[in-house]
């Protein structure tokens, strides 16, 4: 069985989106790092290859529909994706699209999601509230955050509240040739 992983990008001051949910600070970022330990900028592809299922909140889902899916279809075809929402939301089309809009606590859905992921990971896509729900329920195994050297000053936080189990354990750090740094943390329970 795979891990439950919260994987996302964050500004240097801990925000995953601006206050208006935009990501221009991330999508427009152009940086570099020439150190001998710089890894290629393939972090996402490497991570996504190990994902078996996804879960996200409705704001993240709407952003993907509005800014990503419209440019060539649903980006997560072939993998089941749960959207946590109390609202009716449009569903993307496609033969290999498996999007499930549900209103339930993450603990009630967890076994089904993990079973659907199989031996691969369940990716908590975001936002910070969904990641916080997983941590509160004791179901979050790892946090993988790519730190972008941009300071926003305000926005949507990586987590929207203090985590219940205290500090996490750093298990890896990878500087990327892009100037971003990927940090991997184990969530202590």
173 pLDDT higher than 80: yes
CATH code, domain carrying 51: 3.40.430.10
pLDDT value of residue 166: 86
Answer for the pair 81, 56: CB distance below 8 angstroms, yes or no. yes
88 pLDDT higher than 70: yes
- Spatial separation of the C-alpha atoms in residues 137 and 6, rounded to whole Å: 14
The model's pLDDT over 129-150, given as tens digits with 9 standing for 90+, comes to 999 999 999 999 999 999 999 9
pLDDT interval class at 1 (50, 70, 90): low
The model's pLDDT over 15-43, given as tens digits with 9 standing for 90+, comes to 999 999 999 999 999 999 999 999 887 77
The separation between CA 149 and the C-alpha centre of its own chain, rounded to angstroms, equals 18
Please state the domain count of the chain. 1
pLDDT interval class at 70 (50, 70, 90): low
pLDDT value of residue 134: 96
The model's pLDDT over 104-137, given as tens digits with 9 standing for 90+, comes to 999 999 999 999 999 999 999 999 999 999 999 9
* Burial tier of 57 (Cβ tally within 10 Å: 0-12, 13-18, 19+): buried
Q: Which residues contact 129 (CB under 8 A, 6 or more apart)?
A: 57, 160
154 pLDDT higher than 90: yes
71 pLDDT higher than 70: no
2 pLDDT higher than 90: no
Q: Could you list the residue range(s) of the whole structural domain that residue 170 is in?
A: 4-186
Mean pLDDT of 151-161: 96
């Amino acid at each position: 069985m795979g891990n439950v992983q919260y994987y996302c990008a964050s500004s240097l001051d801990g925000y995953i989106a601006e206050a208006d949910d935009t990501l221009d600070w991330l999508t427009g970022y152009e940086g570099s790092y020439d150190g001998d330990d710089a890894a290629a900028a393939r972090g996402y592809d490497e991570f996504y290859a190990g994902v078996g299922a996804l879960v996200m909140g409705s704001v993240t889902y709407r952003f993907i529909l509005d800014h990503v899916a419209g440019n060539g279809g649903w980006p997560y075809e072939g993998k089941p994706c749960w959207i946590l929402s109390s609202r009716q939301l449009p569903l993307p089309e496609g033969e290999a699209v498996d999007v499930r809009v549900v209103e339930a606590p993450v603990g009630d859905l967890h076994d089904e999601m993990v079973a659907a992921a199989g031996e691969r990971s369940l990716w908590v896509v975001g936002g910070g509230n969904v990641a916080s729900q997983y941590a509160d329920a004791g179901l979050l195994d790892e946090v993988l955050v790519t730190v972008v050297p941009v300071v926003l000053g305000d926005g949507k936080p990586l987590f929207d509240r203090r985590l219940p189990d205290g500090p996490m354990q750093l298990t890896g750090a990878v500087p990327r040739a892009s100037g971003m740094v990927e940090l991997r943390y184990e969530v202590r329970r």
